[in-house]
C-alpha cells in the first residue's frame, strides 16, 4: 500500500507529500525503509531515534524524537490504529502452489497433512493427524508425534521432537481495545523458530510473533502444558516445567529453569542461570542469576526464612 492509502484507511487528516510504498509492518528497532512502525509503550521510546522505518504511528508529543527520514503519523491511539492496519498486511493462510519437498527416509503417516511450500528434511517422522503448514521448514531427524500442528512459515532445526497435541505458531493473544470496550485483533504476521535439539512436551503452545520471530534456542527442553507468548526468546538449554508460562516479548537467558506453575510477565528480561521455583511470579527484570521464589518474587533463601517465621506465628 502507499502511505497515503494507509493514512486514508485510518482516517487521518493528513496529506502525504512523500507518498512512498509501504510493504510491511515492523518494530521500531527492526524496521527498514519501506516499512511502517508504531509507538504505544514508553519502554520503546529509546528506539525512536534509531528507527529506519519510513513512517511511524505515535503520539504527537513524541514526533520530535523521530529521525528526519521517518514520517510521523500522529495518533493518540497508536496501538488501536496498528491493530486495524495489521489485518491489511496479514499473510494468507496458504500462499504457495509449489509441492512440498520431502527428504530421504522420512516417514509421513497417511492421516498427516503437509501443505504446499513446506520442506521436510531427512529421517523425519510425521505421525497421524499432524499438520505442517505452508512454507514450513523442518530439518533432519525431527519427530512430530500425533496431532502436532505447525503453522505456516515456522522453522524447525535438526533433532527436534514435539509430543502429541502441541501447537507451534498459533496466534498470540493480542488485542487493542476501543474506548467503548470492543476488542480489535492485532494480526500476528511473524513465525516461530525452534533451533536444534529442542524437545517440546504434549499440549504445549508456542505463539508466533506479531512481527519477526518467537525463538526457542538450541537445546531447550519444554514440558507438557507450557505456554510461550508471542515474540519471546527462550535462551539455550532452558528448562520449562509443566504449567509454567511466559507472556509476550519476554527474553529468557540461557540455562534458565522455570518450576511448575511459575510465570513471567511480558516485556521482561531474565538473567542467564536463573531458577524460578514452583509458582514463582516474576513482574520485574531479573538482572542477576540465582534462585528465586514466591509472589512477590524474592531470593529463595529469604522466602524460606519468611515461611519459617509465618509457621511460628501460626503455631503460637
Looking at 113, 177, 183, 230, which residue is catalytic?
Answer: 230
Cell of 224: 507438557
230 flagged as catalytic: yes
Are 280 and 293 in contact by the 8 Å Cβ rule? The answer is yes
Instruction: Report DSSP letters for 214-231, one per residue.
Output: EEE-TT-EE-SS-EE-TT
Question: Phi, psi (5° rounding) for residue 152?
Answer: -55, 145
- Residues in Cβ contact with 205 at an 8 Å cutoff, skipping those fewer than 6 apart: 166, 167, 170, 226, 227, 228
Q: Give residue 71's Cα distance to chain centre.
A: 27
Could you give the C-alpha distances from 99 to 76, 96, 119, 128, 178, in angstroms and in order?
A: 46, 8, 9, 20, 43
Residue positions annotated with a catalytic role: 230
Amino acid at each position: 500500500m502507499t502511505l497515503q492509502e494507509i493514512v486514508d484507511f485510518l482516517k487521518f487528516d493528513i496529506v502525504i507529500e512523500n507518498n512512498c510504498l509501504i510493504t510491511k509492518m515492523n518494530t521500531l528497532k527492526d524496521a527498514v525503509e519501506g516499512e511502517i512502525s508504531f509507538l504505544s509503550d514508553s519502554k520503546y521510546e529509546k528506539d525512536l531515534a534509531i528507527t529506519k522505518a519510513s513512517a511511524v504511528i505515535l503520539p504527537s508529543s513524541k514526533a520530535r524524537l523521530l529521525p528526519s527520514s521517518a514520517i510521523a503519523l500522529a495518533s493518540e491511539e497508536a496501538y488501536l490504529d496498528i491493530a486495524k492496519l495489521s489485518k491489511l498486511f496479514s499473510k494468507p493462510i496458504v500462499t504457495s502452489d509449489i509441492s512440498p519437498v520431502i527428504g530421504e527416509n522420512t516417514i509421513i503417516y497417511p492421516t498427516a497433512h503437509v501443505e504446499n511450500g513446506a520442506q521436510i528434511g531427512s529421517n523425519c517422522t510425521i505421525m497421524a493427524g499432524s499438520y505442517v503448514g505452508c512454507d514450513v521448514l523442518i530439518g533432519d531427524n525431527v519427530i512430530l508425534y500425533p496431532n502436532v500442528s505447525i503453522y505456516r512459515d515456522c522453522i524447525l532445526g535438526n533433532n527436534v521432537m514435539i509430543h502429541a497435541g502441541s501447537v507451534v505458531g498459533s496466534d498470540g493473544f493480542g488485542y487493542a481495545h476501543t474506548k467503548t470496550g470492543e476488542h480489535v485483533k492485532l494480526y500476528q504476521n511473524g513465525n516461530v523458530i525452534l533451533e536444534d535439539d529442542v524437545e517440546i512436551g504434549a499440549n504445549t503452545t508456542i505463539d508466533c510473533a506479531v512481527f519477526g520471530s518467537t525463538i526457542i534456542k538450541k537445546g531447550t527442553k519444554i514440558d507438557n502444558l507450557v505456554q510461550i507468548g508471542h515474540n519471546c526468546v527462550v535462551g539455550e538449554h532452558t528448562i520449562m516445567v509443566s504449567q509454567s508460562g511466559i507472556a509476550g516479548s519476554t527474553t529468557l537467558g540461557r540455562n534458565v529453569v522455570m518450576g511448575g506453575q511459575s510465570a513471567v510477565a511480558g516485556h521482561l528480561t531474565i538473567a542467564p542461570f536463573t531458577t524460578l521455583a514452583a509458582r514463582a511470579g516474576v513482574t520485574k527484570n531479573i538482572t542477576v542469576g540465582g534462585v528465586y521464589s514466591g509472589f512477590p518474587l524474592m531470593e529463595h533463601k529469604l522466602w524460606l526464612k519468611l515461611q519459617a517465621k509465618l509457621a511460628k506465628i501460626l503455631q503460637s
